[in-house]
Every structure is written in structure tokens, then in C-alpha cells.
Amino acid sequence: MGSLRHFISLVDWTPEEIEALILDAARMKAEWKAGVRPTPLAGKTLGMIFQKPSLRTRVSFEMAMRHLGGDALYLSPQEVGLGQRESVADVARVLSRYVDAIMARVFAHSVLEEMARYATVPVINGLSDDEHPCQALGDVLTVYEKKGRLRGLKLAFVGDGNNVATALLYVCAMLGMDFAIATPPGYMLKEAVIEQGRAFAARSGSRLLFTHDPAEAVRDADILYTDVWASMGQEAEAEARRRVFPPYQVNAALVAKARPDVLVMHCLPAHRGEEITDEVADGPHSVIFDQAENRLHAQKALLVRLLAG
């Protein structure tokens, strides 16, 4: 029991551990592409609980387990009724008797924290309203592949101060990448998140910028990142957000304000014509689909770390 680790938040891991995951992911991806197919998780099963639907999270985790010789079990919202039909604590305790790890994609971050308190197997955050750490792993792997380094690069996020932006602030500040974010007034990251990011940056030397001006944020950016203006669970706010966010669209004019070799990133699904234009999403700077692929390889590294040591 002493070695049980969860992956609920990047905050719970050290910068050295996160960097090691990225290097492991790069190595495992290269091995897979070369036809080397080790199966360190043979006989292991991942239970996957979904409160929110997903293309990339489900398929990338399921295929990760298959690549590693294990298996994955999909549990839909209707099957589990997490916190409604059955308590989170009981679901965690029951699943711990059946599977070797639990991945949960939920609304409230507190659900994951409660699950981790009662589970006797590793619990992985597949997404919560607070943070999307697995996405950040895949994103940083993509940057490392494309740029050959992380430290000293600048990532600019333009849009809503949401769970993806939170994870990106954490991972950049942990690994020595500069981070800038531009949001409309009222949509900035939570103050507690900003303070945590500043604490990481104080140790790594990262420079942080929090602004409402997209042009200021993207100046000298090596990576330009955006996400949907209204996330799952915010449908009631979608129309109001569409009136506020158009100045934060990632389009050719904004890309031109960044470095000439800037990478454009989006975690998908994209609302094309809203937060990003087709011209940019399908243009020469875009690495959107490399990001999507790298969810698979980053999560393979995480699964091996949690289940095989």
C-alpha cells in the first residue's frame, strides 16, 4: 500500500517525475513506431468511468492498455451513476476489487479526490472541471518532439481560463517553460491556481504573464494554444460566451504576432470558426493531430509508471 500513487493533479508530482514521464513517453513512442512491442501490463485491466463523453480519452486509454498487453473496461454514465445510483466511495471500493487501476472523466474534481481516498488501486484524472493533467502530458510531449527542448520556450494560451489552461500553467511552470495567458475579463484562471503556478515558477525560473490582451500574450510565443470557449457543463453559458470571446479567436492575424515557427495547438474537439479558424487549424503551424496522437503515448508512460513501477 505504501507505493500506491494516483494521478489526480500535476501538483501531486514533482517536476522531475513529470519530466521523466515525458522522456519515457518519447522513448515508448519511438519503440512502437520501430515495431518494438513490449507488454509490461500483461494481465492488467484499467477500469474507465465516464461522466462526460470523449473520443480521445476513451480511445487513447483503451489503446494504450492494448499496446501494453493489458485490457480496458468502459463504464458509461448510465451504468455507474457515479454519486447518484451508488456513492463514489462504494464505486471506488468495488472497482478496486476488480481492476488494477481506475481512470475517471468527471465534472467535479472532488469526485476524483474522494475516489482516491477509498480506492486501493491507482486513480487517474481523465479530466475534471478543475484540471486536465493527461492532456498536458501529451501537449508537452508534442512540444518536446517538435522543438527538441522545453526549458526557455514560451507557451501562450488564448481563451477561457479553464481546466486545460490550469494544467498547462502547472506543467510549464514546473518544467521551466514561460507561460502567458490572455482571457476576457471575468474568465481568468482562479487566483489559487495562479498562486500555485507562481510557486512552481519561482523554483524553475519560468516567466508568467496574465493579461486580457491576446497580442501581448502571444508576442514571441513558441507555442500558441487555444480551447473551446464553453466547456462541457457550460452549455447554458455558451451564447453569452460567444458574444465575449470573438476577440480571442486564434486566426492568421494572431498567429502572425507570434514567432515565425510558432506551433499552434488545440486539445480538441474544436469549434471551427469560433476559437480557431480552419485556415489556422489546418495550416502549416498546426500540430493539433500530433497532440491527439500523443495522448496515447504519454498515457502509456503514465500507466507503466503507475502499474509496473
What number does CATH give the domain 135-291? Answer: 3.40.50.1370
Judge whether 10-132+296-307 and 135-291 match in fold: yes
The pLDDT of residue 78 is 80
The pLDDT of residue 53 is 87
The pLDDT of residue 220 is 98
| Domain edges within the chain | 10-132+296-307, 135-291
pLDDT tens for each residue of 231-288: 777 778 888 999 999 999 999 999 999 999 999 999 999 999 999 999 999 999 999 9
The pLDDT of residue 309 is 76
Within 10 angstroms of residue 48's Cβ, the number of other Cβ atoms is 24
C-alpha cell at 184: 476576457
Q: Which sequence positions are flagged as catalytic?
A: 105, 132, 135, 227, 267, 295
Helix axes 109-118, 88-98, angle to 10 degrees: 50
Half-sphere exposure of 141 (CA within 13 A, CB side): 33
Helix (H) or strand (E) holding 30: helix 15-33
The residues, ordered by sequence, that sit 6+ positions from 9 with a Cβ below 8 Å of its Cβ are 125, 130, 131, 133, 170
What number does CATH give the domain 10-132+296-307? Answer: 3.40.50.1370
Q: Could you give the CA distance from residue 82 to residue 92 in angstroms, rounded to a whole number? A: 10
Q: pTM of the prediction?
A: 0.96
pLDDT < 50 regions, the chain: 1-2
